[in-house]
Amino acid sequence: MISALTRLADWSARTPKRLWAIAFALFFTLAASWSAATPLGGSPDEHAHFIRAAAVARGQIGGPEVMVPHMVAGIEGKFAETGVQLPEWYGPLPKQHECYAWHEDKPASCAPRIGHSEKIVQVTTAAGRYHPAYYLATGWPSLLVKGPNGLYLMRLMSAALCSALLAGAVVTAAEWRRGRSLALLGVFTAATPMALYMAGMVNPSGGEIAAGILVWTALLSILMSPDPRLLNRRLARVGIGGLVLINIRPLGLIWFSGAVFFGLLLAHRGVVRSVLRRKALWVWTALLGAATAGALLWARAHPDNSVINTPKTLTAKEAARQTFGNTETYVHQMLGYFGWLDTPAPAFTWLVWLGVIAVLTALGLAYGRAREAVALIGMLVAIVVVPVVAQASQAEQLGMVWQGRYLLPFAVGLPLMAVLICASRAPEQGFPWRRLVGFGAAGLALANAAAFFWALRRFAVGVNGPWVPFSAHWVPPGGWVLWTGVYTAAAFALVLPALVRDRGAAPAEGPGQRDDSTHTGRHSKVPAVG
């Protein structure tokens, strides 16, 4: 059985094109399952992103500012939203989720039916200040298909975009010679259920997270597993991921800079010098510089003029204290907190995912050199400190608005750093690495499927309903049984490539043929995959 799975994994990774196609198809299946299994408007602020995407697709890049009363985290205020001209049925979307969001015992069947009036009216969106690139990529199906089907197609476009980025990360991990099964496990660990959930929604967070995983994987591969023949394609992946990350939201520039900083801490000797000599680096640097300038100019030209009546007691110090106390909540939100942050993943999912991350991090600390251990510890500290600093600096103007998913494009670097330290430093003999990868991958797949079923059950019957929702009050298109089966099968199929054998490994190896990199931690130059 294990041999058959290993042969199948080797077959899937035989060429980069084949592996990319398989990974794309499976990631898309997972993200599309979330698209189908979540009520329209059932994810954070999705109504605003639906409206923004539909408007951008119709050429409405901006619009007049409209002050709209809102309450966020119990604080009243007026949001500066953007007015756009759209069919009338878009207008009620902001209220689509209100009957069941934050009421965990209520299924989504109470949501009103989406209308069909094509009369053009003014509709407002809180996402009007965001860069239009993501919305142009996801909003165009609304020009072809009207009503709910058009909204589902917009979700699928987001799923396709994110799946392409994640598949690129899988191919990059598979290019490692030693420890590529570990590298693949790192990518699958970084792609948490929350990352896949956001990929299936119309929300720029999905693209940010997927791009973050690609940037981290490609950048660490360049600096920790150097190969001149792979360098240009790896630089291209860093560049593509960076362009997506920077052009979605201004925070993307911070996350990209953080990945570069920690990547340089882990760089092997002499690698940076050789990379700096590549023309491709400077081409992508120029493109990223232009994208950064454009993103900063866009942000400066579209300030947030919202008025939030924050209480005087919410000082920077108090915000920092509360944010630090919410660290565990933010970690849970990065792993899986669905709906309008009212549907946590089951404890099983959290325990398995955190367990895998903890084991990988501990092994990275054990096998890494002093500088690499410091980088890992620094990453752990940053995951705690960055939200504290960000929230404290903005709480007096915006209130307590931080969510775990905001940090996820950066935090995905932790498991990737840990596994790639192990892949480059740990000896191949003396530790059951393949067994670790096998159990870890199987555990992640099962935890992933459990999170999906748990969220779908909540929408179908509420948290107090039967464990198996045979008499579902709300059902996704096609039924809950179909999507649960599809998601579970795809979750297990996705992690199968983690069983792949290292490239260049010979079944019989004489003493004179042994690769000295096993003992020195250095990598020999190897040909490109395929």
Measured CA to CA, the distance from residue 132 to residue 62 in angstroms comes to 9
pLDDT in tens, the chain (530 residues): 668 888 888 788 788 999 999 999 999 999 999 999 999 999 999 999 999 999 999 999 989 999 988 777 677 788 889 999 999 999 999 999 999 999 988 999 999 999 888 999 999 999 999 999 999 999 999 999 999 999 999 999 999 999 999 999 999 999 998 888 999 999 999 999 999 999 999 999 999 999 999 999 999 999 999 999 999 999 999 999 999 999 998 889 999 999 999 999 999 988 999 999 999 999 999 999 999 999 999 989 988 888 888 888 888 999 999 999 999 999 999 999 999 999 999 999 999 999 999 999 999 999 999 999 999 999 999 999 999 999 998 887 888 889 999 999 999 999 999 999 999 988 877 788 888 999 999 999 999 999 999 999 999 999 888 888 888 899 999 999 999 999 999 999 999 998 888 765 433 333 333 333 333 333 333 333 33
**Cβ atoms of residues 337 and 404 within 8 Å:** yes
pTM: 0.92
- Structure tokens given for 74: 């119990």
**Cβ atoms of residues 173 and 189 within 8 Å:** no
Long-range contacts of 79-82 (CB under 8 A, 24+ apart): 79/126, 79/306, 80/304, 80/305, 80/306, 80/307, 81/124, 81/125, 81/126, 81/128, 82/52, 82/124, 82/125, 82/126, 82/127, 82/128, 82/129
107 secondary structure, DSSP code:
-
Three-class secondary structure of residue 81 per DSSP: strand
Measured CA to CA, the distance from residue 166 to residue 169 in angstroms comes to 5
- Structure tokens given for 371: 């500088």
Measured CA to CA, the distance from residue 500 to residue 503 in angstroms comes to 9
Measured CA to CA, the distance from residue 100 to residue 42 in angstroms comes to 9
CA dihedral over 76, 78, 84, 87, signed as positive or negative: positive
- Structure tokens given for 363: 């092994």
Q: What is the dihedral of CA 190, 433, 495, 237, to 10 degrees?
A: 50
Measured CA to CA, the distance from residue 316 to residue 414 in angstroms comes to 28
| pLDDT at site 272 | 94
Question: What is the DSSP secondary-structure string of 41-67?
Answer: T-STTHHHHHHHHHHHHTT-----EEE
Comparing C-alpha atoms, which of 478, 438, 487 is closest to residue 199? 487
Kindly list the domain boundaries of the chain, sorted by start residue.
Answer: 2-42+153-502
| pLDDT at site 524 | 37
Measured CA to CA, the distance from residue 491 to residue 453 in angstroms comes to 12
CA dihedral over 11, 12, 17, 21, signed as positive or negative: positive
Q: Is 191 left (phi over 0), alpha (psi -120 to 50) or beta?
A: beta
Q: Which amino acid is at 127?
A: A
Phi then psi for residue 75, to 5 deg, are -115, 125
Beta bridge partner(s), residue 76: 71
Measured CA to CA, the distance from residue 319 to residue 321 in angstroms comes to 5
DSSP H helical segments within 200-278, as ranges? 204-224, 228-248, 251-266, 271-276
Phi then psi for residue 148, to 5 deg, are -55, -35
Three-class secondary structure of residue 330 per DSSP: helix
| pLDDT at site 521 | 39
Comparing C-alpha atoms, which of 401, 383, 456 is closest to residue 193? 456
Comparing C-alpha atoms, which of 331, 338, 373 is closest to residue 353? 331
Measured CA to CA, the distance from residue 45 to residue 68 in angstroms comes to 15
For 315, residues 6+ apart whose C-beta sits below 8 A from its C-beta are 395, 396
| pLDDT at site 523 | 38
Measured CA to CA, the distance from residue 204 to residue 48 in angstroms comes to 11
**Cβ atoms of residues 353 and 189 within 8 Å:** yes
Measured CA to CA, the distance from residue 166 to residue 161 in angstroms comes to 9
Measured CA to CA, the distance from residue 156 to residue 145 in angstroms comes to 13
